[in-house]
């Protein structure tokens, strides 16, 4: 095993204690057996006093695990984090071809988002082929109540989770059309759940309409949602149902591609 070099705490713009913690984690990751405090200190170059506090903190947060004989290994928290990262990467890669197909068919911009910290987080974007371009970007966050993907995501949350998010984030008005009543918002989500797609009508930005639909995994759990974004002039009210069905169909294709089996199938 290549022994990590002694930590250079003179580096600018770094946190020495964090560097020590990372060095400990990386050392444990490279080995296939637990290590005691003395062994870790020798390999990483960390004083025992510092190591004690770092190891105790990592153990409390389940990033490492202390065995019965007082040695340390990596904790299960890394399994959860790794699975989360892989699932997010997978849905992005798997969804993009279907997003491109939907964009070609509708000539609208298509977004992919996941639920993250009570908000819709954009993971992917496919621009329309028209001159209309939106300033949205990968990594951008939107409140659930003012976006098509957000409403789609919210429509499949448990009552408890939805209430928690509403209490934490609120339902602030962005335009005169924004729904700011929890009761009305839940009624809208019930409709979205029933028809398979959610509509955002100039609630986040005047002149913009979005339609979103959820994506599900092999276990039936919601993984994310896609949406189209269009100018109101390009998506009149009479076309919403037809376009909504296309968005729902594209979301279902992605879901099936990810192993989802609709009930009764």
Q: For residue range 6-41, list pLDDT tens digits in order.
A: 455 455 678 888 999 999 999 988 887 899 999 999
Q: For residue range 73-87, list pLDDT tens digits in order.
A: 998 888 777 767 656
The 3-state secondary structure of 39-74 reads HHHHHHCCCHHHHHHHHHHHHHCCCEEECCCCCEEE
Can you give the pLDDT at residue 86?
59
Can you give the pLDDT at residue 208?
95
Angle made by CA atoms 231, 233, 234, in degrees to the nearest 5: 65
- pTM, to two decimals: 0.68
**Measured between alpha carbons, how far is 112 from 121 in angstroms, rounded to an integer?**
8
Can you give the pLDDT at residue 4?
44
Paired residues of 125 in beta bridges? 111
Residue ranges, the chain, pLDDT below 50: 1-6, 9
Residues 250/244, Cβ–Cβ less than 8 Å: no
Can you give the pLDDT at residue 76?
84
Can you give the pLDDT at residue 109?
95
Q: CATH for 89-258?
A: 3.30.450.40
Q: For the purposes of burial, counting CB atoms within 10 Å of the CB of 149, is it exposed (0-12), middle (13-18) or buried (19 or more)?
A: buried
User: Does the domain spanning 16-85 belong to CATH 3.40.50.150?
Assistant: no
Domain coordinates in residue numbering, the chain: 16-85, 89-258
Can you give the pLDDT at residue 88?
64
């Amino acid at each position: 095993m290549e022994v990590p070099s002694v930590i250079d705490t003179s580096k600018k713009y770094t946190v020495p204690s964090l560097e020590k913690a990372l060095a400990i984690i990386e050392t444990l990751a490279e080995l296939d057996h637990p290590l005691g405090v003395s062994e870790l200190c020798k390999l990483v170059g960390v004083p025992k006093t510092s190591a004690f506090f770092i190891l105790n903190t990592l153990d409390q947060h389940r990033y490492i695990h202390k065995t019965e004989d007082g040695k340390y290994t990596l904790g299960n928290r890394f399994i959860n984090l790794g699975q989360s990262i892989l699932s997010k990467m997978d849905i992005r890669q798997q969804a993009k071809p279907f997003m491109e197909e939907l964009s070609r068919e509708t000539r609208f911009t298509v977004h992919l988002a996941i639920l993250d910290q009570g908000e819709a987080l954009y993971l992917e974007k496919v621009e329309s082929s028209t001159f209309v371009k939106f300033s949205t970007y990968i990594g951008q966050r939107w409140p659930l109540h003012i976006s098509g993907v957000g409403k789609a995501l919210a429509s499949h949350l448990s009552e408890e989770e939805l209430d928690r998010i509403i209490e934490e984030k609120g339902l602030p008005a962005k335009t005169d059309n924004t729904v700011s009543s929890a009761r009305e918002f839940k009624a809208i989500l019930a409709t979205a759940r029933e028809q398979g797609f959610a509509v955002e009508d100039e609630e986040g930005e005047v002149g913009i309409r979005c339609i979103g639909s959820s994506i599900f995994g092999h276990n039936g759990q919601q993984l994310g949602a896609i949406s189209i974004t269009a100018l109101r002039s390009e998506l009149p009210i009479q076309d919403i149902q037809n376009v909504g069905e296309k968005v729902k169909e594209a979301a279902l294709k992605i879901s099936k591609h990810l192993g989802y089996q609709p009930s009764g199938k």
